[in-house]
Structure 1
Amino acid sequence: MKHAPPDGDASELRQAIEVLAPATATCPLIFASPHSGRRYPADLLRMSRLDRHALRQSEDSYVDLIFDAAPRYGAPLLRALFPRAYVDVNRSRDELDPRMFADPLPKSVDARSTRVLAGLGVVPRIVADGQDIYDRKLHYIDARRRLAACYAPYHEALQQLIADARRRFGCAVVIDCHSMPSAGGAPLREGDRRIDFVLGDRYGASCAPGLVSLVEHALVKMGYGVSRNAPYAGGFVAAAYGRPAEGAHVLQIEINRALYLDEARIARTACFEALRANMQRLIAELAQIDPAALRPAQAAE
């Protein structure tokens, strides 16, 4: 599939997602970057009270580029091209905030979700630093259009990639790739080291423990500080698609932005390429996994 410009400045949304596919799939891995989109639609820029730089505070900036070696190791990379401030695909499509809309929402809306109450639903009310995105009410049709244009294509692509991997290898492993503010990497206890990576498997519910241990061991060998499920245990994608007993595994990886990003400028630092090279080493190691170890157990005869 044709590569999109990594830093597109599109005035309107022409393409919502991109799948960077390997020439041949040789492993059950699927890398996904739901929050690194950098194409800001014209309607968002027009309706927002914030400028583009402020909106970009919600991005997992350049995470798609950190993992873009995946196709070379036989694994696809799915990336959203639209920004998280526009639509957050790591949410249920029903997580809408009635406070944002001028007209009534369907009864199916999950208005009491903790993420919605925090302003971080599928159509976010705030950016990462707490600023309101809008100074006006939206209409439900705005949300419906965004869900149809962005949310649906992303999840349809992810579901297809999972189905393809399970058909070919008997299992699927989604590595859900994110980054976290450097403040989120503060030590959990006094005297502990900084957290560089958080591995989220919803406390064992979304991924085989052996796979999590493999990733943790590989990162620790590279010299990184690693935490499991704290402060991030995994979001909607892990909850919705992680079914280890059925051969579908989801591991959420959060990278401390201090490792590669000038957070104030939202610019890659000189350390970016070193991190990218280490993640290529991690991809290469994961690509050697024996799918048989991750397939669902056969029912007793």
Structure 2
Amino acid sequence: MSDCWLEVRRTDTPLILAFPHGGTILPNVLIERFVSPWAARRDADWHIADLYAGLVDATTIATGLSRSVIDCNRDPSGASLYPGQATTELCPTTDFDGNLLYRGAHPDAAEIARRRTDYFDRYHATLAAEIARLRAIHDRVVVYDCHSIRSVVPRLFDGPLPLFNIGSNGGATCAPALVDAVAAACAASGRSHVVDGRFRGGWTTRHYGKPELGVHAIQMEIAMRGYLDEPADPAPGNWPPPYGPARAEPLRLALACILNAVLDFAKGSA
């Protein structure tokens, strides 16, 4: 596979948007091992790059690889980010609903290590390099980790999610002023939001967020009903829903306000 799975667009503003779960690429050698290509792609953060496109001047880092191959937002050691709660692994063996992804044997330790070297390590080396580049220019840099998920996933959480789910790992990954600014912008949109609810920030947020060193990381998990017409039961005939610019525009307006608040904080004007 070529490097088409990793895309970087650089600017010199103190804001990085990271997209670890928007991809759908499945290496040819793996396709036949999955129960189906559709199942292996189902839990992508569908249309997430379209949702954020052009909203703010920021560096973007995105993987086009399906999270079923390797999840670039999990602890590479294999340790759970949410002990005691249902989640998926570094190289997932089930989908969000607990259905098996593989027809036969799951990836063994050697295969997981290869995927980590080929994909995970390269994604994060790129992200770390961009943080270092921008931190050399600015006193503050913000890593804003972009995510979306089906609004209702009973195995992972009870009932429908709030629309905006802000993660800072209990305030450890960024300054309180950044969380406050994002939460205020969410509240001003009139849509539901929560801070450090079911999703408190994945490995990216927890690993890079070092506010004492001028690197602030925050995760935004968006319930997909905010920009897509979600079917009650996702199936190959109705999932993923198509992306409609008009349908998504109200949420994009809210996101623009959120991102401008983040950029103001990063520039020290918040």
- State the TM-score, normalizing by the size of structure 2: 0.85
Write out per-residue CA displacement over residues 243-296 of structure 1, whole angstroms, 9 at most, x where no aligned residue: 1112111111010111122442212354223323432343234333353479xx
Q: Give the distance between the partners of 2:264 and 2:61, measured in 1 at CA.
A: 20
SS at match of 2:32: helix
Matches within 5 A, 1:139-154: 139-154=108-123
Structure of higher CA gyration radius: 1
State the number of aligned residues.
258
Q: Give the distance between the partners of 1:60 and 1:256, measured in 2 at CA.
A: 10
2:32 maps to amino acid: R
Matched, 1:74 2:43: no
Judging changes above 3 Å, is the alpha-carbon distance between structure 1 residues 247 and 219 closer, same or farther for their aligned structure 2 residues? same
> Where does residue 245 of structure 1 map in the other structure?
212
> Where does residue 136 of structure 2 map in the other structure?
167
> Where does residue 52 of structure 1 map in the other structure?
37
Over the aligned positions, Cα root-mean-square deviation in angstroms equals 2.8
Judging changes above 3 Å, is the alpha-carbon distance between structure 1 residues 211 and 238 closer, same or farther for their aligned structure 2 residues? same
Q: Give the distance between the partners of 2:51 and 2:167, measured in 1 at CA.
A: 18
Judging changes above 3 Å, is the alpha-carbon distance between structure 1 residues 262 and 146 closer, same or farther for their aligned structure 2 residues? farther
Write out per-residue CA displacement over residues 92-137 of structure 1, whole angstroms, 9 at most, x where no aligned residue: 2221xxxxxxxxxxxxxx5x77679956221111111211111322
Judging changes above 3 Å, is the alpha-carbon distance between structure 1 residues 231 and 184 closer, same or farther for their aligned structure 2 residues? farther
| Alignment match of 1:268 (pick from 242, 255, 258) | 242
Matches within 5 A, 1:116-131: 118=86, 120-131=88-99
> Where does residue 23 of structure 2 map in the other structure?
37
Contact preservation (8 Å) 2:140, 2:215: yes
> Where does residue 264 of structure 2 map in the other structure?
288
> Where does residue 104 of structure 1 map in the other structure?
none
Contact preservation (8 Å) 1:172, 1:247: yes
> Where does residue 74 of structure 2 map in the other structure?
91
SS at match of 2:96: coil
SS at match of 1:174: strand
Contact preservation (8 Å) 1:31, 1:76: yes
Judging changes above 3 Å, is the alpha-carbon distance between structure 1 residues 113 and 199 closer, same or farther for their aligned structure 2 residues? closer
Contact preservation (8 Å) 1:13, 1:39: no
Contact preservation (8 Å) 2:142, 2:262: no
Matched, 1:17 2:38: no
Contact preservation (8 Å) 1:57, 1:128: no
Q: Percent identity among equivalent residues?
A: 26
Q: Give the distance between the partners of 2:192 and 2:126, measured in 1 at CA.
A: 33
> Where does residue 125 of structure 2 map in the other structure?
156
Q: Give the distance between the partners of 2:183 and 2:88, measured in 1 at CA.
A: 29
- State the TM-score, normalizing by the size of structure 1: 0.77
1:238 maps to amino acid: T
Contact preservation (8 Å) 2:22, 2:45: yes
Contact preservation (8 Å) 2:163, 2:193: yes
Matches within 5 A, 1:153-232: 153-183=122-152, 195-232=162-199
Deviation of the 1:152 alpha carbon: 1.2
Contact preservation (8 Å) 1:13, 1:82: no
Deviation of the 1:184 alpha carbon: 5.8
Deviation of the 1:139 alpha carbon: 3.8
Deviation of the 1:57 alpha carbon: 2.2
Judging changes above 3 Å, is the alpha-carbon distance between structure 1 residues 40 and 229 closer, same or farther for their aligned structure 2 residues? same
